[in-house]
Amino acid sequence: MDHVFIEGLEIEAVIGIYDWEREIRQPLVFDLEMEFDNRAPAASDAIEHTLDYSAVCARISAFVAASRFGLVETLAERVAALVIEEFGVRRVALKLTKPGAIRNARGVGVRIERERAPG
């Protein structure tokens, strides 16, 4: 199956479980692989037949920038659901990195894969 991907989408948000983290915005980095049949847009050369990665980036950026979750797990789950529900994606793999959260680690975070419910 084909994919449309987004690598290294950086967005700042309020995220974290500690009191001091509720007072600041921290950088987050998103990597997504979205299952999508690219044959129709390849045949028509028309943007309206694509899974438009610029539209997906804009929507994720708006959602994440306005969010205030504690755990990266919660945010990752919500972003995956948004991609599936709003963009009609059947399956998405999403990696959410919180860079610099842990001294001596380049990044920490979660990687999830979610599918649209059948039916």
The site for ligand LV4SOB2L, by CB under 6 A, has a size of 9
In order of 41, 45, 83, 102, 111, the CA distances from 35 in angstroms are: 14, 19, 11, 32, 16
| Least separation in angstroms between CB 97 and ligand LV4SOB2L | 11
* Position 16 contacts ligand LV4SOB2L (CB under 6 A): yes
Is residue 17 a contact point for ligand LV4SOB2L (CB under 6 A)? yes
Active-site residue 95, yes or no?
no
For 62-90, letters b (16+ CB in 10 Å) and e give ebbeebebeebeebbbebbebbbeebebe
Catalytic hit among 98, 99, 107, 114: 98
81, amino acid identity = A
Site string for ligand LV4SOB2L, 90-119 (x = CB under 6 A): --------x--x------------------
For residue 72, state whether it binds ligand LV4SOB2L (rule: CB under 6 A). Answer: yes
The residues that touch ligand LV4SOB2L, with contacts defined as CB under 6 A, are: 16-18, 21, 71-73, 98, 101
